[in-house]
Amino acid sequence: MNQNRLVFRDMGCGTGSMGRWLAGRLRGPQHWVLHDHDTELLARASVTGAAADGGRVTFETREGDLAGLSAEDFAGTSLVTASALLDVLTAGQVDGLAAACAAAGCPALLTLSVTGQVEFAEPEPLDADFREAFNDHQRRAGKLGPDAVEAATEAFARHGMRVLTRPSPWRLGPQESELTAEWLKGWVGAACEQRPELGGEADAYLSRRLGERGAGTPHVVVHHTDLLALGVPS
């Protein structure tokens, strides 16, 4: 392996959008290892283009689950990264990821983890009901959901790494009307799956919210947090 190139491991990579966005913003030759358990997504995954200075960018795909990864898997890795992954992991999986990164001596950049907070430009009483039901849905089957960043911060610190967090909210306004609509339908749908009694309110609630899309200001802020875990210099 070329010792001068950066090696990135993108966990839960989907089709590789993180790499396609980041590769061209970094300098130097890069190799991306795209991990996911979904074979259909991996079949479409790629990181194309060149680095910011024209350096070569290559990639490979690997099928598998986070639970099976260890420090040996991360050997030689420059950065472990993931987007919108922490909140769908369990506490045990997050601890295993932190332990593997710490033992391998590689940093981790974990972005777009939901915090559970949603703010509408024009709040109404039902917002809290749907928000709480959605957050409970995120925690099903032992997943961390909106508690993920706190749990990950504690896990990485426990394994001797320094953790930095920063807010990374989605501000969805008129220019993102299609994305706003898709997010809102999914948010309400998950809430109703968790609390079926909300179903009687859902259609009217969606109609009101989707009717706000011409207001000219951000309709909703969906709060997320980015986390960077770094090794502590000896």
Examine residue 163 and state whether it is found in any structural domain, yes or no: yes
| pLDDT attached to residue 3 | 58
What pTM does this model have? Answer: 0.89
| pLDDT attached to residue 234 | 54
Examine residue 18 and state whether it is found in any structural domain, yes or no: no
Examine residue 20 and state whether it is found in any structural domain, yes or no: no
By residue range, what is the domain housing residue 168?
65-231
Q: Is the pLDDT of residue 1 over 50?
A: no
Examine residue 112 and state whether it is found in any structural domain, yes or no: yes
Half-sphere exposure of 166 (CA within 13 A, CB side): 6
Examine residue 26 and state whether it is found in any structural domain, yes or no: no
φ and ψ at 163, to 5 degrees? Answer: -120, 130
CATH of the domain at 146: 3.40.50
Which residues in 47-172 belong to E strands, given as ranges? Answer: 57-63, 79-83, 108-120, 161-167, 170-172
Query: How many Å apart are CA 9 and CA 35, to the nearest integer?
Result: 7
Examine residue 4 and state whether it is found in any structural domain, yes or no: no
Following CA atoms 207, 208, 213, 214 in sequence, which dihedral angle do they give, to the nearest 10 degrees?
120
Q: Is the pLDDT of residue 71 over 80?
A: yes
Angle formed by the axes of helices 177-194 and 199-210, nearest 10° = 170
How many domains does the chain divide into?
A: 1
